[in-house]
Amino acid sequence: MMTSQNLTQPMQNLCAHKLRVLADPTRLSVLELLRERPRHVGEINTVLQLEQSLLSHHLKILRNEGFVSSIRDGKAVLYHLASDVRLQNGAKGINLGCCVLSFSNP
């Protein structure tokens, strides 16, 4: 188990930044969907039922922060977890490097 005493100041700052990015429920929901498998934007939107522009905004933030990647698939865009994102606990968690974000119920 990691505690804040075990982390250097730069690592604490990086961890705090990652956690701020993921503090939004929509972005957490997107990551939860993508940890199962890659999905097209329309498929993500069918589940989350957001305005297209709002979903695009959240996907852009996740892409810019290195959590997701995208590839063009014909006229659609396919999103998947970025290659740096390490799944853990049988894909129920994402290792952020400073802590593990778990999507399982307690």
Q: What are phi and psi of 14, to 5 degrees?
A: -65, -45
| Band (64; pLDDT cuts 50, 70, 90) | very high
- What per-residue string of b and e applies to 61-98 under the rule 16 or more CB within 10 Å gives b? bbeeeebbbbeeeeeebebebeeebeeeeeeebbebeb
Chain mean position to CA 88: 13
Q: Is residue 3 part of a domain?
A: no
Residue 74 has pLDDT above 80, yes or no: yes
| Band (6; pLDDT cuts 50, 70, 90) | low
pTM of the model as a whole: 0.82
- pLDDT tens-digit readout, 15-47: 888 999 999 999 999 999 998 899 999 999 999
Note down the domain range covering 79: 8-102
Q: Is residue 1 part of a domain?
A: no
Q: Is residue 37 part of a domain?
A: yes
